[in-house]
Amino acid sequence: MRETRLRSAEIEAVILPGLGARLHSLKAFGSNVLRTPARPQHHREDPFYWGAYHMAPWCNRLRIADGARVGNRAVELEPNFPDGSALHGQLFAAPWAIDADGAFSIRSGSHNGWPWAYTVTLRVSVLGPQLRLDYALRNTSDDPMPAGIGLHPWFRSPARVTIPSTKGFPVNACTAAQPQPMTGALDLGSGAELPPNTDATWCELTSSTVEVAWPGEWIGMAMRAEADDVVIVGARPAGLNTVAVEAQSHAPDGLRRLLRGEPHAMRLLAADETLRFTITLTFHQQFCGGAS
């Protein structure tokens, strides 16, 4: 299985172009911060709970009611998750083309229940302690297409997470139309471990930077996402020693949100229009409670 490696003195990223161009591992100052399987092929056998993968043309869950339509096109997605949802887009395990060092792309026709054709390009770059991912999702159909992009990393646990938001959706499996207060253990403005069994979304961020820290490794990370709208999904599944901290361009059930005029919806791209999304992960070493 072919690997692409991008390195600096501080970090090393191993990418698998044939399996969704996902990050198989990501080392910062010598420590892998991702949940990485022993065999790269395991990503194919269990694509949802390892490494860091890319989500497009939608993020998180879509639940498609009978006869759901956008303009003249019907959306008829098959569920791919036990809860009956179509999860995390179409590209997380698909083979991507290698266009250049750190540059990847994929084309999709109007099939598998998604009636629009589109392309996605990704450029991954490493500079010093920073990993940068630049996404571009282009609608190549003749009609407007709902669109979303996101990154789904599974980080090693225990990790301390700081999310600058007090509003969101406490349960991703069934989200309300409007954001709700994130209180108690879901108020992560001052930083804490995600509560067990969390699967929630934070929106309306007061800062563009989310912090993740591994106190036992003396490593910290700042995640910054740049787009018209950014939400952060946090998950901590029962029985797995891992946490997800995901930057996404829309909230769960993004197509429903678009069709009903609810906030944090998928974006409707005109023909030949492009949705761009940039995520940077900047790592630092921590000593005595501060960064080096």
Q: What residues pair up with 282 in beta bridges, in sequence order? A: 130, 222
Q: Which domain, by its residues, includes 155?
A: 4-291
d(CA 39, CA 19): 13
Of residues 175, 171, 227, the one with CA closest to residue 200 = 171
User: Tens digits of per-residue pLDDT, 257-270?
Assistant: 999 999 999 999 99
User: Tens digits of per-residue pLDDT, 201-222?
Assistant: 999 999 999 999 999 899 999 9
Percent of the residues in the chain that have a pLDDT greater than 70, as a whole number: 97
CB 277 within 8 A of CB 227: yes
d(CA 23, CA 11): 13
**Which segments of the chain does DSSP mark as H helices, in order?**
42-45, 254-260
| 162 has a pLDDT exceeding 70 | yes
Residue 68: pLDDT band with limits 50, 70, 90: confident
d(CA 25, CA 278): 20
Q: Kind and range of the H or E element at 16?
A: strand 11-16
Residue 290: pLDDT band with limits 50, 70, 90: low
Amino acid 1: pLDDT: 82
SS (H, E, C) 94-150: CCCEEEECCEEEEEECCECCECCCEEEEEEEEEECCEEEEEEEEEECCCCCEEECCE
d(CA 20, CA 55): 9
Residue 67: pLDDT band with limits 50, 70, 90: low
d(CA 61, CA 146): 14
The residue behind tokens 């080392």 is 27
CA-CA-CA-CA torsion sign (81, 87, 90, 95): negative
Tell me 19's DSSP state.
G
For the chain, what is the mean pLDDT?
Answer: 95
* pLDDT mean over 96-104: 97
User: Tens digits of per-residue pLDDT, 113-148?
Assistant: 999 999 999 999 999 999 999 999 999 999 999 999
Amino acid 66: pLDDT: 63
Amino acid 262: pLDDT: 97
Of residues 172, 242, 233, the one with CA closest to residue 202 = 233
Residue 110: pLDDT band with limits 50, 70, 90: confident
Any idea what the CATH number is for the domain that residue 147 is in?
Answer: 2.70.98.10
* pLDDT mean over 228-251: 97
Reported pTM: 0.96
User: Tens digits of per-residue pLDDT, 42-60?
Assistant: 999 999 999 999 999 999 9
Percent of the residues in the chain that have a pLDDT greater than 90, as a whole number: 91
d(CA 71, CA 225): 30
Domains identified in the chain, total number: 1
Amino acid 161: pLDDT: 98
Least confident of 64-73, 114-123, 146-155: 64-73
